Amino acid sequence: KAGVTQTPRYLIKTRGQQVTLSCSPISGHRSVSWYQQTPGQGLQFLFEYFSETQRNKGNFPGRFSGRQFSNSRSEMNVSTLELGDSALYLCASSLGGHQGPLHFGNGTRLTVT
């Protein structure tokens, strides 16, 4: 069974630009969640989607948004990039809610210059 796939692996953008990251979950998993990891703040929850609906959102500004498609693939978008958005962005898939362990992708490392 293929794992969680995140694309791209690395991305360099300049301040003010926007970026879209993609996450393909394990087949059959309907929940996709997104996380930001920085050296200072550690891992922080961004949002979670289940069957195309956002069920919860972390404490991030509205510049961070996401969506989930009918095939459970998910994208997250960051608009008007700031230097502080430089981070490793991870997604994880699961059967949904408390139903099993999280399966993480390898992440997208975003550098904002």
Partner 1 sequence: KNEVEQSPQNLTAQEGEFITINCSYSVGISALHWLQQHPGGGIVSLFMLSSGKKKHGRLIATINIQEKHSSLHITASHPRDSAVYICAVLSGAGSYQLTFGKGTKLSVIP
State the nearest-atom distance from the C-beta of 88 to partner 1, in Å. Answer: 5
* Residue 30 binding partner 1, by CB under 8 A: no
- Select from 13, 30, 67, 103 the one that contacts partner 1 (CB under 8 A): 103
Residues within window 37-96 making contact with partner 1, judged by CB under 8 A = 37, 42-45, 48, 50, 55-56, 58, 88, 90, 92
State the nearest-atom distance from the C-beta of 48 to partner 1, in Å. Answer: 5
CB-count burial class (<10 Å; 0-12, 13-18, 19+) for 104: middle
Q: How many Å apart are CA 78 and CA 66, to the nearest integer? A: 9
Q: How many Å apart are CA 71 and CA 62, to the nearest integer? A: 25
* Residue 104 binding partner 1, by CB under 8 A: yes
Query: Whose CA is closest to 35, among 27, 46, 25, 26?
Result: 46
Q: How many Å apart are CA 16 and CA 27, to the nearest integer? A: 35
Residues of this chain that interact with partner 1 (CB under 8 A) are 31, 33, 35, 37, 42-45, 48, 50, 55-56, 58, 88, 90, 92, 97-98, 100-104, 106-107, 109
